[in-house]
Amino acid sequence: MALWGNLDNKGSGGTVSLNYGTLVVTGSGTTFGQVGAAATGDVIRFGLKSNGTYVGDAVIVSIASTTQLSIASTSGLSGAAISGRSFQISQLPKFTIHDKKYQQQFGNNTETITILNTAATYTAGVGTNIVLVNSVSRVIAGDTLTSGSVSKVVVSVASTSVSLASTIASAITAAAAVVFSRVTGGHDGYVYGVAEGGANAAQTTSYALTHEGWVGVTTYKDAEGNLRVKTETLVAMSGISTGNTPTYPPV
């Protein structure tokens, strides 16, 4: 069994469920074993990092049908239930599955800190995603706005307002208390397949690297909201075929 391949985009339609006791993965609408889809020796990545459902990785050891396969172990998984989850199939280096720094769920030593206590300047009505506030000092995209029952992620900051990731279901009245908070510390670890285009696109970002190939990336935000990035070339190789999410660079 090869330790890695060059594909980070094998067929992964449908959803999967895992029986932790038997190590059997049951798919719905899947194409396990078909050309271009999951094969023995590939890595199945449960959940998606892009929507916060990522549970971890496992090596496929056998395929019984287009809707059933078995994995080697659950050591690279967080232990969260896997039922009806999206998944991705990759030929990433198998040794990373047992490296905790590249399994996102490990390293949750995070802390939520208050960045700013302020107030709404005007009423923000139901259905809007723009909130005018008295101050935006130190607030950055990615922070969380909380006011009463409203708790939303900030996606952009203007001089006197913030834009939220989605519209609010409850109004924020004028002069209502508004708190901005931020998660700091911890780390986010993930292995990416990086093709030439991704490597070139990363050169002007915090994710710059020296080689295309299989790259391990660990990140965290410091108390000032600065992104800290460490990249490690695990396998330098050309010809990586990508397509899984998130793409590289993940910004």
* Domain definitions of the chain by residue range: 1-99, 107-251
Rounded alpha-carbon distances, angstroms, from residue 238 to 92, 208, 242: 14, 17, 12
| pLDDT exceeds 80 at position 38 | yes
Average pLDDT over residues 170-197: 88
The pLDDT of residue 199: 93
Return mean pLDDT, the chain.
90
Average pLDDT over residues 47-70: 91
CA–CA dist 175, 120 (Å, integer): 5
| pLDDT exceeds 70 at position 74 | yes
Average pLDDT over residues 167-195: 89
Average pLDDT over residues 177-196: 85
Among 171-185, 202-216, 223-237, the minimum mean pLDDT is found in 223-237
Q: What is the DSSP letter of 220?
A: E
Average pLDDT over residues 128-135: 97
Instruction: From 143, 203, 211, 217, select the one nearest 179 (Cα to Cα).
Output: 143
pLDDT digits (tens, 9 = 90+) for 191-217: 999 999 999 999 988 889 988 999 998
CA–CA dist 151, 34 (Å, integer): 44
Rg of the chain, C-alpha, whole Å: 21
CA–CA dist 18, 66 (Å, integer): 15
Among 146-155, 179-188, 194-203, 237-246, the minimum mean pLDDT is found in 179-188
Task: Mark 103-123 as b/e (b = at least 16 C-beta within 10 Å).
Answer: bbbbbeeeeeeebbebbbbee
The pLDDT of residue 191: 94
Give 126: exposed, middle or buried? Use CB within 10 Å, 0-12, 13-18, 19+: exposed
Q: What is the DSSP string of 49-112?
A: GGGT---EEEEEEEEEETTEEEES-STTB-----SSB-EEEE---GGGGG-GGGSTTS---EEE
pLDDT band at 175 (very low <50, low <70, confident <90, very high): very high
The pLDDT of residue 185: 59
Q: What is the DSSP string of 144-168?
A: EEEETTEEEEEEEE-SSEEEESS--
The pLDDT of residue 107: 47
Could you tell me which CATH number the domain at 1-99 has?
A: 2.40.30
Positive or negative, the CA dihedral 223, 225, 226, 232 is: positive
